[in-house]
Chain A
């Protein structure tokens, strides 16, 4: 009688023979320094590519930043022969006790808020309305709307000064007024804001248009079939999906408004009249290069840097939360 038993069929890898898995005997490790060298050569390229940018950043951004921080604890009038006198935190105390700082921060806040219509509201409206413009017409209209961005701020300022001239300016002629736009306390800041808005609105329109192009048209199509009206689609679908772009523009406006206005303030109003256009950057500039108080200017710079840093990180966190649904 024949007897037997069932045995398990081994999995394929084992059946092929275990010996094949062992490393070949010849591949002994070479001298350790050579292996290390090879590793370094293999890993180096990405860092080498980054190096030029990093070097420039360190030389032109981080080193001056550190120097500013250092300088903010000294009294110095920018004359190379005059020694820097260490004063501890006196610069900061002075800064925080003058009303100038609070005034300029308030003005900067006004500038930022007043810039939002130009960098957010108007661009969204224009981009939504011109969405259907295609082909050559789109290229032409983009060029038109982007043109102000290409005009050098100082050149723009010269032209605007002429347009806003109290006696012969075209603005007063058209409005039938005799306002001295740039030299009266009530209007100077608004003139600066309007000119800056004219400068940057085109750029913002392009950013919003690009954001709109990035939204899958299927969402709007689905919403149409789902019964939503045009206004509902804009409010419920398009704008929420555009929010990362809008957050980016908001961040740009908050951080850069003071910078955008600076060349105009410098050429048109020099911070006046009676400090009505002295934003934080202009204040800083006045301390450093009018009063030649390098320590005070450095202290202001450090404070503004910290302030903007704080605001930026806050906004970045908000925009992060907004854009996290991206697929």
Chain B
């Protein structure tokens, strides 16, 4: 019953406001049935990008394609997309039933058909008792569901959602997150979902697109962007507490390559030689292990504070100029002022270029026999 062509393609989409480039040459291919999350800090251009897809904002450059059709210049009402706004934008003067039925009314459906379809959607979203109320008589979660209902009522080609959960409290947010995910699975619909919340992104997305200052930093599955961040920005943005990033130097040692800084020497597990080069060394707090004091290597740090997260503890330490946090099951057995030695497995170490911040990968050079 659903149309097959709801693949959305963005080609070098750009939007400038005066001298500000809100969205900078973003190219993205959203496959049919995908749940793509646009993730990024506040002001990085997520809403601008979404509004351009919806047609509410004209791009300065670039194209938007839905299926095979170029819809860059098509007005929003002919795009066959449904959008859930951050503010929900429920029409305040209309009842819940009329809000949900609005898209059908605009399409000239008969009253009876609208009533039937609205009843069906309301039942699915548990809104049946609220149909006669006005939006101001609803709680935040109920409003959110009405906004969702208004999007669902007309089987659109794709759903666009702009931080639909940001106005809900933590408990409701977790519940609604699961509901939206289930809905996506049931409908198999294409969803482009904007958020600045990494938990939402990690739990709901089939793919995450990370934006920074209008530019696309990385696109990948949640596991990919978490396990192999493409840049320092991505590494810092995902994970809580954020990945430890230490200015270091890669150098050859007796035991192969290692990343070195003051009080830091971590082997990279590569038995090779390479010219020394400055890097940013990254390691996630949960990948650091507390080792005995005796041995050499690792990160020698002093504990500055210990945070209790309930099930886990985070120890904030100082190693040379760098700050390092360690995360592990409670109790970690650390106290303020303790000296610790931290180690990490080579596969858990990330290296980034010191200047560009891009991820570095090891490429063995072709074997040359020494003369």
Q: Are A226 and B102 in contact (CB under 8 A)?
A: yes
A238 to chain B, nearest CB (A): 11
B89 to chain A, nearest CB (A): 4
Q: Are A228 and B102 in contact (CB under 8 A)?
A: yes
Q: How far is the CA of A240 from the CA of B134 in the complex (A)?
A: 14
Chain B residues near A223: list those with CB within 8 A.
91, 102, 106
Instruction: Give how many A residues have a beta carbon under 8 Å from the other chain's beta carbons.
Output: 21
Chain A residues near B56: list those with CB within 8 A.
221, 224-225
Q: Are A227 and B135 in contact (CB under 8 A)?
A: no
Known contacts A237-B91, A325-B93: does B77 contact A222 (CB below 8 Å)? no
Q: Is A326 an interface residue (CB 8 A)?
A: yes
Q: Are A225 and B76 in contact (CB under 8 A)?
A: yes
Inter-chain CB contacts under 8 Å: number: 73
Q: Is B83 an interface residue (CB 8 A)?
A: yes
Q: Are A216 and B150 in contact (CB under 8 A)?
A: no
Q: Which residue of B lies closest to A241 (CB)?
A: B93
The contact string, 1 if C-beta is below 8 Å from chain B, for chain A 130-158, is 00000000000000000000000000000
Q: Is B82 an interface residue (CB 8 A)?
A: yes
Q: Give the interface size class of chain B.
A: 20 to 34
Q: How far is the CA of A243 from the CA of B92 in the complex (A)?
A: 12
A226 to chain B, nearest CB (A): 4
Q: Identify which of residues 184-220 in chain A touch chain B, using a CB-to-CB cut-off of 8 Å.
A: 216, 218-219
Q: How far is the CA of A179 from the CA of B106 in the complex (A)?
A: 50
B305 to chain A, nearest CB (A): 25
Q: Are B93 and A216 in contact (CB under 8 A)?
A: no
Q: Which residue of A lies closest to B84 (CB)?
A: A222
Q: Identify which of residues 223-245 in chain A touch chain B, using a CB-to-CB cut-off of 8 Å.
A: 223-229, 232, 236-237, 240-241, 243
Q: Is B186 an interface residue (CB 8 A)?
A: no
A195 to chain B, nearest CB (A): 36
Q: Is A81 an interface residue (CB 8 A)?
A: no
Q: Are B92 and A222 in contact (CB under 8 A)?
A: no
Q: How far is the CA of A327 from the CA of B76 in the complex (A)?
A: 26
Chain B residues near A236: list those with CB within 8 A.
91, 102, 105
Since A218-B85, A225-B54, A225-B82 are in contact, a sample of 12 more A-B pairs with Cβ atoms closer than 8 Å, ordered by chain A residue number, is A221-B51, A221-B85, A222-B89, A224-B75, A225-B160, A227-B106, A228-B106, A236-B105, A240-B93, A241-B92, A326-B136, A327-B92
B interface with A by C-beta (< 8 Å): 51, 54-56, 75-77, 79, 81-83, 85, 87, 89, 91-93, 102-103, 105-107, 134-136, 150, 154, 160
